[in-house]
Amino acid sequence: MIARVCNLLQHSLKLALPVFLGEAETRECVYYNDNWRTERTNQSGFERCEGEKDKRLHCYASWLNSSGTIKLVKKGCWLDDFNCYDRQECVSMEENPQVFFCCCEGNYCNERFTHLPDMIGSGNRVKIRPPPRVPSLLNVLVYSLLPLCVLSLALLLALWMYRHRKPPYGHVDLSEDPGPAPPSPLVGLKPLQLLEIKARGRFGCVWKAQLMSKYVAVKIFPFQNKQSWQNERDIFLTPGMRHENLLRYIAAEKHGTNLETELWIITEFHERGSLTDHLKGNAISWNELCHIAETMSRGLAYLHEDIPSYKGEGPKPTIAHRDFKSKNVLLRDDLTAVIGDFGLAVRFEPGKPPGDTHGQVGTRRYMAPEVLEGAINFQRDSFLRIDMYAMGLVLWELVARCSEADGESNGERMYLATQGKLPGVLKRVGLEFDVISD
């Protein structure tokens, strides 16, 4: 019995020691998961927090408030986040979010949670203070001299900027704002955690992320590629950009400040990945080839189509992709093709200039001869034909990875396809081919 009491006291001292030393260390948090049956986890209990040594750990809680009825969603450990530093109480600061979210530091600090306006309305005052620190001579000197040093540096910086009168960074204009993120019902949902990088490109990288109970794709652009992010966001927000063979858009967000700014585009996630990834590791049957080619063609045909009005949203203009390739074609679980990556896309609206119509953009391997030679005609139909040339190369990739059966070669299958539905779909989108036989 005495040994048990000693062990309990020793455990309590370990948990309390960081507080006495001025550091609210988080080792354990209260755990709860409302979707525990679906995710096959425990419903409630305690969670041991683990992370990198140089990273701080926190606890969090998320809940819903429906007409005064509180429904708890999740509780548990939260990774290093500067918004949670030195918060001993779990308090949500947002005025009217769809999902309330708070985080804090210290063991089991998420056991109780609240919303700041609710506490103010009930007459309580919320004070979130860092843990008490043991005063020392070094702390006294730092706190005494720090304001003077900061003031001196601010004066010197102001004087330097006044004399030079030009931005401190050469080719990057930090005063230019990418613009507010578009309104979306899912922008305010938290927590959203990045899990792993699935792809890298010249404009950024694509992460697999978890948004509440489902997976999403997060495409992250550095600040230097702001134009590509803004163009892709504008294409997604074009009226009529909802089609079963086009990537479904969720939200666009801006994170960080100055050169550390990251620009996010959140879309649906497809576990199979791109058509390139699938063809590298798998051969496809003729039926699968026809299904992928047909759905891919429908998506590109809809993208090229000019629709006068779409369900009261306004006219949908013709859009040229300009970087069509198998890497930008995603596959659903049933091998239905979905077209994505509109960073280089351009809209052709009647009576308006198409914007940046530089001819030599895209991936060199999929460029049409007139693009490589610099002899492109900067007209709407010219850009659509460039997309069709690229799609012809993607169809060739599909045929090259098609398995043979019943003694029929790929050439014979292509000939038989001319009698079926696939050529009709390709002809409607502007791609025709001739089969030469003996």
C-alpha 129/C-alpha 19 separation (Å) is 12
C-alpha 382/C-alpha 376 separation (Å) is 7
Q: Residue 65: pLDDT band by 50, 70, 90 thresholds?
A: confident
Q: Is 150 helix (H, G, I), strand (E, B) or coil?
A: helix
Q: Residue 136: pLDDT band by 50, 70, 90 thresholds?
A: low
Q: Residue 107: pLDDT band by 50, 70, 90 thresholds?
A: very high
C-alpha 35/C-alpha 399 separation (Å) is 44
Q: Residue 273: pLDDT band by 50, 70, 90 thresholds?
A: very high
pLDDT value of residue 438? 26
pLDDT value of residue 435? 33
- For residue 101, the cross-strand partners are 62
Cβ density class 46-67: b for 16+ within 10 Å, e for less: ebebeeeeeebbbbbbbbebee
Chain Cα centroid distance, residue 279: 25
Q: How is residue 239 written in tokens?
A: 């009226």
Closest CA to 287 of 189, 148, 416: 416
Q: What are phi and psi of 21, to 5 degrees?
A: -85, 0
Q: What is the dihedral of CA 9, 14, 20, 25, to 10 degrees?
A: -140
Cis peptide preceding 131, ω within 30 of 0:
no
Q: How is residue 402 written in tokens?
A: 């098609």
Closest CA to 62 of 92, 23, 107: 92
**Eight-class DSSP state of 406:** T
C-alpha 142/C-alpha 138 separation (Å) is 6
Taking 60 as the threshold, does the pLDDT of residue 134 lie above it?
A: no
Question: Which of the pair, 233 or 116, is modelled with greater confidence?
Answer: 233
pLDDT value of residue 311? 67
| String of DSSP letters for 229-271 | HHHHHHHHTSTT---TTBPPEEEEEEESSGGG-EEEEEEE--T
pLDDT value of residue 164? 62
Question: Which of the pair, 170 or 421, is modelled with greater confidence?
Answer: 421
Q: Is 382 helix (H, G, I), strand (E, B) or coil?
A: helix
C-alpha 82/C-alpha 58 separation (Å) is 10
pLDDT value of residue 115? 83
- Enzyme catalytic residues: 323
Taking 60 as the threshold, does the pLDDT of residue 18 lie above it?
A: no
Q: Is 303 helix (H, G, I), strand (E, B) or coil?
A: helix
Q: Residue 395: pLDDT band by 50, 70, 90 thresholds?
A: very high
Closest CA to 208 of 266, 162, 252, 154: 266
pLDDT value of residue 118? 58
User: What's the sign of the alpha-carbon dihedral 139, 142, 147, 148?
Assistant: positive
C-alpha 213/C-alpha 395 separation (Å) is 36
**Threshold 0.85, pTM exceeds:** no
Mean pLDDT, range 299-320, rounded to an integer: 86
Closest CA to 47 of 32, 69, 61, 62: 32
Domains of the chain: 25-112 (2.10.60.10), 192-406 (1.10.510.10)
Taking 50 as the threshold, does the pLDDT of residue 429 lie above it?
A: no
- For residue 333, the cross-strand partners are none
**Eight-class DSSP state of 355:** S
Q: Is 151 helix (H, G, I), strand (E, B) or coil?
A: helix
Cβ(317)–Cβ(306) below 8 Å: yes
Q: What is the mean pLDDT of the chain?
A: 77
**pLDDT tens digit string along 200-252?**
877 778 999 988 888 999 999 988 888 889 999 999 999 889 899 999 999 98
Q: Residue 8: pLDDT band by 50, 70, 90 thresholds?
A: very low
Q: Residue 41: pLDDT band by 50, 70, 90 thresholds?
A: confident
Closest CA to 214 of 174, 175, 259, 250: 250
Angle between helices 380-400 and 410-417 (to 10 degrees): 130
**pLDDT tens digit string along 320-373?**
998 999 999 999 999 999 999 998 899 988 777 665 555 557 788 898 887 777
C-alpha 229/C-alpha 25 separation (Å) is 38
| 38-52, 359-373, 414-428 — most confident range | 38-52
pLDDT value of residue 128? 37
pLDDT value of residue 131? 40
Angle between helices 380-400 and 286-304 (to 10 degrees): 170
pLDDT value of residue 135? 53
Closest CA to 425 of 396, 380, 391, 401: 391
